[in-house]
Structures are given as structure tokens and as C-alpha cells.
Amino acid sequence: MAATNGSVESADTHDDVSERIRATLAAAIGEGALKPGTKILEEAIAEHFGVSRTVVRGALGVLESDHLLERKRNRGTFVAEPSVEQAKSLFEARRKIERLLLELVIARVTPEQLDALQKLTDEEEHIHHHGDEKSKTVLSGKFHIVLAEMAGNPVLTEVLAKIVARLSLVMSLYEEDRKDDCGADHHRM
């Protein structure tokens, strides 16, 4: 069902556009531009991307299954608001997975990868002193994903990436309460 008005649907498949919408919204959530509890307006997204609401709903469904969005009956779709218990579970899961990943990284890491990790922690340190919370959260998440990729296990990387995405919601929701900041000093260990 391609649109005839020159919209995005006429150039791309529904799946491509739906994935682009998903990635755009996921990035906005990860960067804190879409805060927990924010209502997602299907019609506005459809208009922005020049697609039908059906295509938008496909993207929203994926984000809902990743626990980044939640659908509330008769109210719409909202950016998820993880509870304190969910936050604790996510941090515990990340710690457990990263222990395993570190074993793999130690066995497989190259000098080039270590250099890349060092550059990332240097950037984190700079942001810690001169940046904002949004940048810190994004870089911290990036650090954890890069570390997972170094382990060479794509399944563990995918699982950790989903946890990191959900933790960005936790960071956004509870940023004023963040005392145990996972930053450059922690990552240097």
C-alpha cells in the first residue's frame, strides 16, 4: 500500500520505515529526549514520517515488546516508567551478564579494542566534568555495549543492549536520586 503523495512509504517498504521509526524513538528515549511517562502521539509520528498509523503501530509494538513503551487501555501509548523493583532487577541482570562478558573479553580483547575503550572512558571523564546528564547516560550505555561487543558473543550483546536501553529510562526517571553514577572511574576498573 504505497502512498502516492511522495511520502516515505512510496520510497521504502513498510518494514524499513517502521524500523526507522523504531530506531528514532528508541534513540530519543535513550538520550532522554522522550522522558518516562510521555504520551506517544501516533498521528504526529505518522505525519512526521509521511506514513500511515498502521506503520507507526508496528514500530510502537516492537518498542513495547522491548519494554521501552507501555500501552494503557483507552489512554494510548506512553514511554515506560520502570518501578524501583524493575530498576533493581535490571541493574542486577546487567551486573551478572557483564561478569560473564568480562571473562570473554579478557580472553579475546585486542590492543586496538583496549585503545577504543580507553578513548571512550576519556570521553566519559570529559563529559562528567563538562557535560550534561543526557550525554553521560548515552556514553555510559555506549561503554557497556562496546564492552559486550568485545566479548564476541552477539546473543549476549543483544541481551545487554536491551537491558541498557531500559536502564536509560531508569536513569531518566531517577536522575535526581543518582548517587551511584556509573561513569568513567567505574569503567576504568
Question: In the predicted model, what is the mean pLDDT of residues 168-184?
Answer: 68
Strand, coil or helix: 143 = helix
**Neighbouring residues of 96: CB distance < 8 A, sequence distance ≥ 6:** none
Q: What is the pLDDT of residue 5?
A: 46
Note the pLDDT tens digit of each residue in 19-76.
999 999 999 999 999 999 999 999 999 999 999 999 999 999 999 999 999 999 999 9
Domain with CATH 1.20.120.530 in the chain: 84-188
- Options 1.20.120.420, 3.40.50.150, 3.40.50.970, 1.10.10.10; CATH of 8-79: 1.10.10.10
- Please count the helices (runs of H) and the strands (runs of E) in the chain: 9, 3
Domain 84-188 matching CATH 1.20.120.530: the answer reads yes
pLDDT of 3: 44
Residue extent(s) of CATH 1.10.10.10 domains in the chain: 8-79
d(CA 100, CA 87): 20
Structure-block grid coordinates of residue 64: 513495547
SS (H, E, C) 58-77: HHHHHHHHCCCEEEECCCEE
Question: What's the distance, Cα to Cα, between the start and end of the chain in Å?
Answer: 53
Average pLDDT of the chain is 87
Look at residue 176 in the predicted model and tell me its pLDDT.
57
73 grid coordinates: 487501555
For residue 155, what pLDDT is reported?
A: 97
pLDDT digits (tens, 9 = 90+) for 125-160: 888 888 677 788 788 889 999 999 999 999 999 999
pTM score, two decimals?
0.80
Burial letters 133-143, b for 16+ CB under 10 A, else e = ebbbbbbbbeb
Is the pLDDT score of 4 beyond 60? no
